[in-house]
Amino acid sequence: MVCGGFVCTKNSLCALNILYVMVSLLLIGVAAWGKWFGLVSSFRVVAGIIGVGIFLLFVAFVGLCGALKHHQVLLFFYMIILFLVFMVQLSVSAACLAINKEQQKELLEVGWNKSEATQKDVEKSLNCCGFFHPNYNGTCDADCFSNPLSCNPCGPIIQSHAEEVLRFVGGIGCFFSFTEILGVWLTHRYRNQKDSRPNSGAFL
């Protein structure tokens, strides 16, 4: 059986969707673990990660069912959704790789000011207070706040790691975006193929 055949295309599509299922369960598990152990207190962050995981799990489930049953409607919707996700993810990944330091600083400041829970998480994990300068009249969850003069602002610390993180996220995003376009191509190919075996319902 050549790799361009019906069975090989079907198995490749199933394997790709099993990979998506594993990634989605990993996202959900990591978010729940972080919330359970108090590593992340922001409900929006946890809900966002779990939401992405559930969406990916749903897409993978549609693709897996469509591949196993050779269901034309499911495969069509799976192909459209995967292509849309590919375009969005590739755009976001390219933006992560292309963003400059000044834009990083502006985005970090906006994100910092948007959520007090995120501020507390960052201050606690990085042992810093405030974004540009510590607020000695306010509160801070960092250990250094017992001696406020020893506290450093969080902004420079976050920005020092931002470029590395953005490159990592952009690289991972690009990798998965190309697996998605591979899934679109496999789905389009698989939809137009017919099972030439005498018993098309045989176990694969």
pLDDT 10s digits, 155-193: 787 777 777 777 887 888 888 888 889 999 999 888 887
Asked whether 75 and 187 are in contact (CB, 8 A), the reply is yes
Residue 117 domain-assigned? Answer: yes
Helical axes 6-36 vs 43-69, angle rounded to 10°: 160
Residue 191 domain-assigned? Answer: no
State the pTM of this model.
Answer: 0.69
Residue 186 domain-assigned? Answer: no
Interatomic CA distance for residues 65 and 159, integer angstroms: 44
Q: What is the count of structural domains for the chain?
A: 1
User: What is the three-class DSSP state of 196?
Assistant: coil
**DSSP code, position 132:** S
Asked whether 55 and 84 are in contact (CB, 8 A), the reply is no
Does the pLDDT of residue 92 top 70, yes or no?
A: yes
Residue 37 domain-assigned? Answer: no
- Find the domain containing 151 and state its range: 89-176
pLDDT band at 77 (very low <50, low <70, confident <90, very high): very high
Element (H, E) at 194: none
Interatomic CA distance for residues 162 and 158, integer angstroms: 6
Side chain identity, residue 152: N
Residue 66 domain-assigned? Answer: no
Residue 146 domain-assigned? Answer: yes
- Predicted confidence at residue 203, as pLDDT, reads 36
Q: In the chain, what percentage of residues exceed pLDDT 70?
A: 83
Give the tokens for residue 168. Answer: 């990592």
Does the pLDDT of residue 125 top 80, yes or no?
A: no
Interatomic CA distance for residues 181 and 100, integer angstroms: 28
Interatomic CA distance for residues 193 and 59, integer angstroms: 22
pLDDT band at 52 (very low <50, low <70, confident <90, very high): confident
Residue 147 domain-assigned? Answer: yes
Does the pLDDT of residue 2 top 80, yes or no?
A: no
Interatomic CA distance for residues 27 and 18, integer angstroms: 14
Residue 164 domain-assigned? Answer: yes
Mean pLDDT of 83-87: 91
